[in-house]
Amino acid sequence: MKEPTASNAPGVLASPEDVLTTLRSDGKRRWMYPVESKGRFLNRRRILGWALIVLYFALPLIRIGGKPSVMLDFVHREFALFGLIFYPTDTLLLMIFMVGIMLSIVLITALLGRVWCGWACPQTVYLEFLFRPIERLIEGPEHARKRRDEGASSWDRTKRKIAKQGIFLVLALLLSHTFIAYFVGWEALLGWLQGPPAENWGFFLLTALVTGLVWFDFAYFREQMCTIACPYARMQSIMLDRDSMIVSYDPNRGEPRKRRSKKILQDENEGLVAAQGDCIDCFACVRTCPTGIDIRDGLQMECVTCTQCIDACDHIMDNIGKPRGLIRYTSENQLEGVKTNVVRPRSVIYGVLIILIFSAFSVVLSNRNDYDLNVGRAVGEPFSELPDGRIANRLRFRVRNQTNVASTFDIFPDTPSGTEMRIIGATPIELAPGEMKRVEVWIIIPREAFTTTSIEGHFEVNFSDGHIEHPVFTLLGPDSN
């Protein structure tokens, strides 16, 4: 993190530019014009970025076991994750899973720093490989755009902005539909799209809202999502340690930095003048940074590990005949000449915990019933007496099919003997994969079965796949005295 200096020491209100790179001293937003730096890391990120853009679009479309590979259906309280379906009754399972995922994020961050932010987060991937390339195509390279933006208004600037924002809006519309598909699935989405707006105004309102937010984010908010809004950035300091891999400038090699010509550099190499550090203070690493920071100030919360400064500096090093890697992936320990430890108490503890948590998850999952069955009393009188003296209880069976195949089921009374049952509705009851049904039944019990006011009723629920459940429920009757 930034070392305290006279200007940023606690208690001293530093210039706003020292606190936030995106803020001017007058409080206005400072627009970022990050120059694209070509290089090996950008090539790799671009390949991965496009693979992820396709994946993020395809995940709600790819079906596994009849369900979208990822769908978080909050309305029906059903989460589909790569073939696993979580229902409301799976709170424990879901909790274990989420804890495992969170610990995995902590472990990955401890080992590889903010690799997620720079390489895989949809915010970075869409901004850097979809929106910014379109912006460059329409408005030209960053220096031209900056000059035009800061110059007098012109038709040339206006028409470029209109064209750009028009395309951004279309992309935002596409991304918002993809985003909503993660929560409702494409089938429902297409159904709503084809229906008249008056019947689906809620959907159109939601789509308009999400489209507006996506457009606002990628057209305006941009890097502030990472530097201001995202909680992950705030938490990174507790996840990183001195062995974590970070993008860092090597001050041992770079300092004392000095802007100088190729001729002086050549003289330095030949020992004709005193050698300076390898950093020629060209600011290429700063100009390319999407969050506007100077990596030479040390590890900062705003760094999203996009590696653009590595590519920028490597290019400079190639030009001045110095070895690449003045800015590189490294750890704080390695920068100080100490070996980076991949195996360290923190990574071992996290690793062991993750193994234990996912083992517990597998055990709970493998013991999960194919059907979730719950018996309760239906609303109304606790019991009623029939004209022939028998006692009737009205019960409600709630059954959920937790398998990926359709099924049917039927309910039979077991004990007390002589009990009859009347199901309200047709039998057998059909259950689609993941479907939950409530069935109300009348249980008619011989009066003599009630030696006390409450007795146990045993039932048998037979499913079409051969599965049998034996629920027990308390039946109520009159006081036998």
- List residues binding ligand SF4 (CB under 6 A): 247, 249, 254, 257, 279-285, 288-291, 293, 295-296, 303-309, 312-313, 316, 326-327
Q: How far is the CB of 171 from ligand SF4 (least distance, A)?
A: 23
For residues 245 and 399, which CB has a smaller minimum distance to ligand SF4 in the complex? 245
For residues 71 and 279, which CB has a smaller minimum distance to ligand SF4 in the complex? 279
Q: How far is the CB of 272 from ligand SF4 (least distance, A)?
A: 21
**Beta pairing partners, 472:** 458
For residues 160 and 260, which CB has a smaller minimum distance to ligand SF4 in the complex? 260
For residues 276 and 305, which CB has a smaller minimum distance to ligand SF4 in the complex? 305
For residues 296 and 400, which CB has a smaller minimum distance to ligand SF4 in the complex? 296
CA distance 458 to 471: 6
Q: How far is the CB of 118 from ligand SF4 (least distance, A)?
A: 6
Terminal alpha carbon distance of the chain = 80
Quote the Cα angle for 396-399-400, to 5°.
Answer: 150
367, HSE (Cβ side, Cα atoms, 13 Å) = 8
Alpha carbon 39 to its chain's center: 28
Q: How far is the CB of 329 from ligand SF4 (least distance, A)?
A: 10
Q: How far is the CB of 314 from ligand SF4 (least distance, A)?
A: 8
Q: How far is the CB of 220 from ligand SF4 (least distance, A)?
A: 19
CA distance 116 to 279: 28
CA distance 456 to 397: 16
Q: How far is the CB of 222 from ligand SF4 (least distance, A)?
A: 13
DSSP tag of 349: H
For residues 283 and 442, which CB has a smaller minimum distance to ligand SF4 in the complex? 283
For residues 41 and 203, which CB has a smaller minimum distance to ligand SF4 in the complex? 41
Q: How far is the CB of 317 from ligand SF4 (least distance, A)?
A: 7
DSSP assignment string, 207-244: HHHHHHHHHHIIIIITTHIIIII-HHHHHHHHH--TTS
**Phi, psi (degrees; rounded to nearest 5) at 474:** -80, 125
CA distance 476 to 456: 9
Mutual orientation of helices 155-184 and 201-216 as an angle, nearest 10°?
A: 130
Structural contact between residues 439 and 396, judged by C-beta atoms closer than 8 angstroms = yes
For residues 39 and 434, which CB has a smaller minimum distance to ligand SF4 in the complex? 39
DSSP tag of 65: T
For residues 48 and 365, which CB has a smaller minimum distance to ligand SF4 in the complex? 48
Q: How far is the CB of 124 from ligand SF4 (least distance, A)?
A: 10
Q: How far is the CB of 47 from ligand SF4 (least distance, A)?
A: 18
Structural contact between residues 314 and 324, judged by C-beta atoms closer than 8 angstroms = yes
For residues 304 and 445, which CB has a smaller minimum distance to ligand SF4 in the complex? 304
Which secondary-structure segment (H or E) carries 139? helix 132-139
Question: Which residues touch 32 (CB under 8 Å, ≥6 apart)?
Answer: 22, 222, 223, 290, 291, 292
For residues 125 and 279, which CB has a smaller minimum distance to ligand SF4 in the complex? 279
The radius of gyration of the chain from alpha carbons, rounded to an integer in Å, stands at 32
Residue 412, SS3 per DSSP: strand
Structural contact between residues 256 and 277, judged by C-beta atoms closer than 8 angstroms = yes
Instruction: Output the six-digit token pair for 383.
Output: 């019991």
DSSP assignment string, 294-339: -GGG---TT-----HHHHHHHHHHHHTT--S-SEEEE-HHHHTTPP
